[in-house]
Structure 1
Amino acid sequence: MKKIIKSSIITLFALSLVFSTGCEDLFEPAIENHKVGEDLKEMPSWALGLLGHAYISNPLGSWSFNDVATDDAVSNLPSNNYRLMSTGAWSATYNPMDRWQYLRASWQYLNQFLAIVDDVHWADDPLASQLFKERFKGDAYGMRALYMYHLLLHHAGPSAADGKLLGIPIVTEPEDLYNTEFNVPRDSFEDCIKRLFADVDSAILYLPEDFGNVEKDVDVPAKYRDRGIKADVYTRIFGDNVKNRMSAKIARAIRAQAALLAASPAYSEGSGIDWEDAANYMAEALITGLGSNPVGNIDPSGGEWYKDNNAINNLKAGQNPKEILWRSNKEQNANLERDNYPPTLFGSGRINPTQNLVDAFPTINGYPINHASSNYDPNNPYANRDPRLSRYIIYNGSTAGTNNTIINTSADSPDNNGINKIETSTRTGYYLRKLMNPVVNANPSSTNNGWKYKPFIRYTELFLGYAEAANEAWGPTSDPNGHGFTAYDVVKAIRVRAGITGGDVYLESIKDDKDAMRELIRNERRLELCFEGVRFWDLRRWKVPMEKLTETAKGVRISGTTYEVIDVERRAYKEHMYYGPIPFGEVNKFSELVQNRGW
């Protein structure tokens, strides 16, 4: 069965201008801006348009706020896709998580590029041409690995036919209308992971660890210096102008994330990857990125990377803070604040943190609030809490905005910030603070924008990934492979950075208890990565009990000095929803394309 898809005939003139190869007079405009594969061999900027499409389609490029589909948040917008999805609308025909066609179409661009990259005239200098070729190939392989990871996140699952864990159809050659058979089965999850790892290996082979100018020949990385490459040629190909493109460090991090997914309970039986593999890959990504003592190099301000407006403004193109491995370009706006600030700060209050999440923050001494030693006071619930609570969530009595306005979320609030006052009020008694830039004034008549960027990969996520995998593989305090740090070391460093005081007696009390440490690590992921689109996937890859997946989202109704926990939104997930579906339209068209079980 054949299917019409985007052919190799492309219109990419505008896109190609974004991507510079450092070569002069790379192309002459044709009478019509339509090119096929053979034409592109002498038109490198046009050929780069194929690779450029991978960045336009980057699945990490925008905030999803799929936290609304978990126990961490709800939305006050009735039409919010994740709200509808989590309350019963999720199906193979209605899937806000669908990435099947979008990412596979972009995968096709990468395959088209890899098919011609060796034949394109990248530069007159043979050495420079070879280095351009290697850089672009490594870039394409790394981005294809990223796409595979996200396609597996969204669509891998057990076959409806026999329960075998499946991924996607692995396609590594360009498809065309006349010669391609499109009715092909999905490959196994294990084979998809192997393909991802192979693409990462290729990216590492072809790419430097980082990009950046070098002034002296001796500073050229050894893998290039040993080939006789001088500083001027290296800088031309791998210099500052291509920072924040796919690098060997980024590719290693993608492999580590994929290994963590593959080792997790929902996927481990069909992946060929275990916790030790995942821990080793995470350690490699951290050591390569931050040096031989990564825990000692943890960014002290990494938990609030979004907050310092001046620091973000002063970031040079491609420059990253210590917390960030990969990010978007910075931009100046007030979009997040307009969407999420309380009504009196000219916001729409869209994302409402839940009482469930608030209760997950320990007290200042590190104990969970339900522990006898926590000193938690239910009549004064926000006192003596983990400082991350006030950093990430606006609760009753918090101040927010450029004028430090007191926010009253109570039922008897005199303004529209109170719970359920108007359509833009909170439904839970809480508003979102995390990700907000404190210099922003969202008032439409006197807007003050703030500088922002979207992190693609944060080192904190990798640290916590290592802690999880290492704890499962070797226990909290063991380091049999000599990485130089343990799961316990990571958790301790993150909680010290958070502001836990008193020596963190709770952590010390469980440092030899693998099961208790597992729960603590999972909770630290919940806190550190909240509202960054991580928990939805965590709950599923952990295959938490169904009662946890369907836990009712709760809020708090405050009246005077009374705090009443209330049910806000029930979840309607079913057993098969640990995994997402293949789009119904695709399964309906292709007989070989097997749906995931239950969909």
Structure 2
Amino acid sequence: MKKLQLLIGLAVLLFSVGCKDMLKPEIENNLDLESTYNNATYAQGLLLNGYARIPTNSWSFNDVATDDAVSNDRNNAYLKIATGQWTAINNPLSQWVNSRAAIQYLNLFFSVTDQVKWAVEPNINRMFNDRMKGEGYALRAMFNYYLLQAHAGKGNNGQLLGIPVVLQPEGQDADFNKPRATFDATMEQIYRDLDMAEQLLPVDFEDIASDAQIPAKYSGVGKDNYNRVFGYYFRGRVTARIAKAIRAKASLLAASPAFNPSAVAKWEKAANDAAAVIDLRGGLVNLNANDIKWYDKDAGIEGLASGVNPSEILWRSDVGNSNDLERNNFPPTLFGSGRVNPTQNLVNAFPMANGYPIGEANSGFSASSPYDNRDPRLKLYILVNGGTAGTAGTAINTTLNGPTNDALNKVETSTRTGYYMRKLLRQDVNLNPSSTTNQKHYNPRIRYTEIYLSYAEAANEAWGPLNGGTHAYSAYDVIKAIRRRAGVGTNNNDPYLESIKSDQVKMRELIRNERRLELCFEGFRFWDLRRWNTSLTEVAQGVSISGTTFTPINVENRVYQPYMIYGPIPYSEILKYNNLIQNAGW
């Protein structure tokens, strides 16, 4: 027993000695900002944090909070806000945390970049520093735009407010109790950042062939060194072209009725900003038929080289190999969950192939065969009853008493509207558990069609349908080109468009409708309805099909209040900071 006690005592003594170092706290492996000066990778990480937080890196499908779609997932956050649960506490649309965090990292980057050793040779070091600062300015402008989109509005004081403009990194001792700048002041900061970005960045990241192509400010560095900094290797990062597109998005928001009651000058600016992007592309050219299905193999996704864009895409995420979109949205018979269900409202918005809206006397619409002779985009983007999907081209039955789980309200993964989403989905994905396959996908951050439609909207408001200001194309020209690309009115010169081409109000309606169709399921409708200051409460409808009888049904009410054209400042922030003014009604 004594021997055992002795052994235990020795073990405790040895353990105590051995634990001395173990119990002593180690210095945390956290680098301070000064460490970035000689660690370019760490410094660049601050910038790359901005890229990682871009909201359009993933799909939101906030369309299900609008008159375009509903969700069969009863826990969907957008379903909840559309049916009366949107508050300053419960706001899945908030960008307050994500975008402000991105801006904090970008401001940290700006605070160190001039001291970072990007390269040994001074001229190359300067080029790297210029390029990354240009990227940072464009990203900061973009995140301020997303903050405005989600949180700008008329405050309780009646003033149109933006967000707190933060240009310096905020440390633990910073004054976080900053007031919101006015909406216009926030826009001016966005424009200043984009001005800086365009000065510092090339139009595109591509290799040059000779020293003669080097900008004068970098003369003498040689083409190889120039390509090392501004060449094709950096495709996918922000360029001057992308900065111009961000400007076009922001100025369209600023010109819209919710933020601009009457100023024509703001519409002119929005039109000019969009035209600057279009002109870089050569005008109304390269509108290819495959652009309307940019997500499909026919649009060249399979052969995309690293950083290369298809003709429709101005800026995109990386290509990934997956079947997540299909698993969530294929009909049940194709082993999907059928989550996003397009509404009858959206289906009705697609015109006939002859260009006439379905309610027009000359349309030829038939209530007993409502999907015949329609705009080709209807069956491309929406899976209607009898439409085919999947690798085998399976016919989908969405009728009231259909024999499969694809039928209306059959099971929890069935459609609630009589329709399934088809757009964005690779039909060559197989979800059968015995032979599952993946396919390539990417997220478009900015599409050229968005910019075309932004121009059409702004030009129509600024100069009318047929006047292009100083530009060679008008709102009418853009809409005609987009409809022709889609196969609308191609056999009869689009008589409906011709009949309204001098009417600004009817052209406005048509432009908004084309935007609705072309950008459906890409997260635009929610924001468009609000910036247009239009009704948010149109009931989401579906269709009950029995034989040749198509009966509209009310699927989901939209419970919005008029003040909800503007989103809230998070309630937690209002509680903490008395200088923050909440938007009226929240």
TM-score if structure 1 supplies the norm length? 0.91
Partner of 2:45: 49
1:164 and 1:270 in contact (8 A); partners too: no
Partner of 1:259: 251
Partner of 2:452: 463
2:293 and 2:299 in contact (8 A); partners too: no
State the number of aligned residues.
559
Take 1:525 and 1:223, find their aligned partners in 2: how far apart are those partners?
41
Give the SS at the match of 1:60.
Answer: helix
Q: Cα distance, 1:313 vs. partner?
A: 2.2
Give the SS at the match of 1:580.
Answer: coil
Q: Cα distance, 1:301 vs. partner?
A: 1.6
Partner of 1:236: 228
Partner of 1:25: none
Larger deviation, residues 66-75 vs 205-214? 205-214
Is 1:37 matched up with 2:33?
yes
Partner of 2:473: 485
Take 2:250 and 2:297, find their aligned partners in 1: how far apart are those partners?
31
**Aligned partner of 2:314 among 319, 322, 325:** 325
Cα distance per residue 1:468-495 (max 9 Å; x no partner): 00000001111231x2111111000000
Cα distance per residue 1:361-418 (max 9 Å; x no partner): 0001000000000000011100010000000000101011100101000012111100
Take 2:158 and 2:264, find their aligned partners in 1: how far apart are those partners?
16
Partner of 1:518: 508
**Aligned partner of 1:532 among 514, 522, 531:** 522
2:290 and 2:299 in contact (8 A); partners too: no
Same amino acid, percent of matched pairs? 52
Q: Cα distance, 1:309 vs. partner?
A: 6.3
Take 2:319 and 2:155, find their aligned partners in 1: how far apart are those partners?
42
1:263 and 1:275 in contact (8 A); partners too: yes
Larger deviation, residues 205-214 vs 194-203? 205-214
2:164 and 2:178 in contact (8 A); partners too: yes
Q: Cα distance, 1:311 vs. partner?
A: 2.1
**Aligned partner of 1:338 among 318, 327, 330:** 327
Give the SS at the match of 1:187.
Answer: coil
**Aligned partner of 1:498 among 486, 491, 496:** 486
Q: Cα distance, 1:270 vs. partner?
A: 9.9
Give the SS at the match of 2:55.
Answer: coil
2:197 and 2:243 in contact (8 A); partners too: yes
Partner of 1:542: 532
Take 2:136 and 2:89, find their aligned partners in 1: how far apart are those partners?
31
Partner of 2:98: 102
Unpaired segments ≥5 residues, structure 2:
1-25
Give the SS at the match of 2:558.
Answer: coil
Take 1:492 and 1:133, find their aligned partners in 2: how far apart are those partners?
44
Alignment of 1:346-361 (within 5 A): 346-361=335-350
2:299 and 2:310 in contact (8 A); partners too: no
Take 1:91 and 1:402, find their aligned partners in 2: how far apart are those partners?
43
**Aligned partner of 1:167 among 156, 162, 166:** 162
Take 2:498 and 2:84, find their aligned partners in 1: how far apart are those partners?
42
Partner of 1:245: 237
Q: Cα distance, 1:312 vs. partner?
A: 1.1
Partner of 2:4: none
Take 2:334 and 2:298, find their aligned partners in 1: how far apart are those partners?
19
Q: Cα distance, 1:273 vs. partner?
A: 5.8
Take 1:77 and 1:269, find their aligned partners in 2: how far apart are those partners?
38
Alignment-mate amino acid for residue 552 of structure 2: V
TM-score if structure 2 supplies the norm length? 0.93
Partner of 2:19: none
Q: Cα distance, 1:445 vs. partner?
A: 2.4
Cα RMSD (Å): 1.5
Alignment-mate amino acid for residue 176 of structure 1: G
Alignment of 1:98-247 (within 5 A): 98-160=94-156, 162-178=157-173, 180-220=174-214, 222=215, 227-247=219-239
Alignment-mate amino acid for residue 552 of structure 1: V
Take 1:352 and 1:37, find their aligned partners in 2: how far apart are those partners?
49
Alignment-mate amino acid for residue 55 of structure 1: Y
Q: Cα distance, 1:296 vs. partner?
A: 2.2
Alignment-mate amino acid for residue 123 of structure 1: A
Take 2:141 and 2:87, find their aligned partners in 1: how far apart are those partners?
27
Is 1:89 matched up with 2:85?
yes
**Aligned partner of 1:425 among 406, 410, 414:** 414
1:367 and 1:506 in contact (8 A); partners too: yes
Give the 3 Å change call, closer, same or farther, for CA 273–66 of structure 1 in structure 2.
Answer: farther
Task: After the TM superposition, list the runs of 4 or more consecutive aligned residues in structure 1 that deviate by more than 4 angstroms.
Answer: 269-273
Cα distance per residue 1:115-165 (max 9 Å; x no partner): 1111111111111000000001001000001101100000001111x2101
Q: Cα distance, 1:219 vs. partner?
A: 3.9
2:155 and 2:581 in contact (8 A); partners too: yes
Unpaired segments ≥5 residues, structure 1:
1-29
Larger deviation, residues 440-449 vs 390-399? 440-449
Cα distance per residue 1:317-344 (max 9 Å; x no partner): 1100111000000011111111001000
Give the 3 Å change call, closer, same or farther, for CA 317–33 of structure 1 in structure 2.
Answer: farther
Alignment-mate amino acid for residue 497 of structure 1: R
Q: Cα distance, 1:300 vs. partner?
A: 3.0
Partner of 1:20: none
Alignment-mate amino acid for residue 486 of structure 1: S
**Aligned partner of 1:393 among 378, 382, 400:** 382
Partner of 2:437: 448
